[in-house]
A and B are shown apart, each in its own frame.
Chain A
Amino acid sequence: MAHDHHDHDHSDLSETELRVRALETILTEKGYVDPAALDLLIETYEKKVGPRNGARVVARAWSDPDYKAWLMKDANAAILSVGYAGRQGEHMVVVENTPKQHNMVVCTLCSCYPWPVLGLPPVWYKSAPYRSRAVADPRGVLKDFGVTLPADTAIRVWDSTSEIRYLVLPMRPKGTDGWSEDKLADLVTRDSMIGTGLAKEPE
């Protein structure tokens, strides 16, 4: 990025993002590009930005209690140790799912999304209806994603900002004792790391 401001009160787009948006708007207005078709095409590749980075972090936290303690205390350093740096100035916080609390992350700005760790955000994630519904009715949104939590599990919604980005540490699925980190990482989906899903169950 040419520059990366961190103002609190308004939104920011990098110079490159401005140029990309300008092109997309013009091409859409002139009928060269259908935004829905473009989103669909981009979605095809969304897993190609930092695909396994966050999954690796989660798998290690499941396997190594010391690493997990470090991750909860200093996520930036712990994530970096696995080899994945975020953008400069970006502060990562890890929130842990437990039987008592499920965590979900929302943000409408793609610049607030920790893509080096999580990969590209899904198209719906940036939509205003998703964000407002997630805040007002998180249980309903989860249900739409096919996730039903026990009634006594509280749901906490975290709004990421340009200063703080969240990574959800999903609960380790049962029946995975003794699994290698590689095998565990395959159970960690992107959705489970933003809290709109759970880690996959072992087959």
Chain B
Amino acid sequence: MTQIDPAAARVAKEAIPTIPTDEDGPVFREPWEAHAFAMALTLHARGLFTWKEWAEALAAEIKAAQAAGDPDTGETYYRHWLATLEKMVARKGVATAATLTRYRDAWDRAADRTPHGKPIELQPGDFRD
């Protein structure tokens, strides 16, 4: 497994200057944003894409969102990041959009059947094939 150095975040920031940061490094509005960020960092470290490739894909995603009326206040930045991640994963043949939807639906069922306060865990029965 690829080791990730936090220094990788600095490299990412240099390649993708739009990443929200303060003097110490990336900042996130919600926990899932940190997950989305960390996944992209991991996949980059695995060589799935270059930062140049990522920057172009993310820019295209943001441009399309703006054209569709995204207010572009910065609050939606990681939504675009996540959409870019999903498309990149599909383009590189890791998982198709259909597979992503299948897993998303399975997690939804897992959450539904999990009583509040218990950890949500995915089980084979959560998949509908």
A: which residues have CB within 8 A of B?
Answer: 1, 7-13, 16-27, 30, 32-34, 37-38, 40-42, 44-46, 48-49, 107-110, 113, 115, 120-121, 126-128, 131, 159, 161-162
B: which residues have CB within 8 A of A?
Answer: 1-4, 6, 9, 22, 24-39, 41-43, 46, 48, 79, 82, 85-86, 89, 94-95, 99-101, 103-104, 106-108, 111-120, 122
Q: Which residues on the A side are within 8 Å of B46 (C-beta)?
A: 32
Q: Is the CB of A23 within 8 A of B38?
A: no
Contact partner, A41, options B24, B38, B48, B101, Cβ 8 Å: B38
Q: Which residue of the partner chain A has the closest CB to B37?
A: A45
A51 and B28 CA atoms in complex are apart in Å by 10
A108-B118 contact in complex given A22-B107, A23-B39, C-beta closer than 8 Å: yes
6 contacts between A and B (CB under 8 A): A19-B82, A27-B42, A38-B38, A44-B6, A48-B26, A120-B34
Q: Is the CB of B114 within 8 A of A20?
A: no
Q: Which residues on the B side are within 8 Å of A45 (C-beta)?
A: 9, 25-26, 28, 34, 37-38
A33 and B94 CA atoms in complex are apart in Å by 12
Q: Is the CB of B31 within 8 A of A162?
A: no
Q: Is the CB of A13 within 8 A of B28?
A: no
Contact partner, A23, options B24, B30, B89, B108, Cβ 8 Å: B89
Number of A-B contacts (CB under 8 A): 154
Contact partner, B94, options A12, A27, A40, A44, Cβ 8 Å: A27
Contact partner, A38, options B27, B35, B101, Cβ 8 Å: B35
A64 and B43 CA atoms in complex are apart in Å by 48
Q: Which residues on the A side are within 8 Å of B33 (C-beta)?
A: 49
Contact partner, B111, options A10, A37, A128, A161, Cβ 8 Å: A10
In the complex, the 5 A-B pairs of residues with the closest C-beta atoms, listed nearest first: A22-B103, A22-B104, A34-B1, A11-B114, A41-B38
Smallest CB separation, B54 vs chain A (Å): 15
Q: Which residue of the partner chain B has the closest CB to A19?
A: B104
Q: Is the CB of A16 within 8 A of B79?
A: yes
A44 and B37 CA atoms in complex are apart in Å by 12
Q: Is the CB of B31 within 8 A of A121?
A: yes
Q: Which residue of the partner chain B has the closest CB to A107?
A: B117
Q: Which residue of the partner chain B has the closest CB to A159?
A: B117
Q: Is the CB of A33 within 8 A of B34?
A: no
Q: Which residues on the A side are within 8 Å of B112 (C-beta)?
A: 10-11
A38 and B31 CA atoms in complex are apart in Å by 13
Chain B CB count within 10 A is highest, among A21, A30, A113, for A21
Chain B CB count within 10 A is highest, among A22, A24, A127, for A22
- Contacts beyond the supplied A37-B4, A121-B31: 7 A-B pairs with Cβ under 8 Å: A13-B108, A18-B111, A26-B100, A30-B95, A38-B42, A42-B35, A45-B26
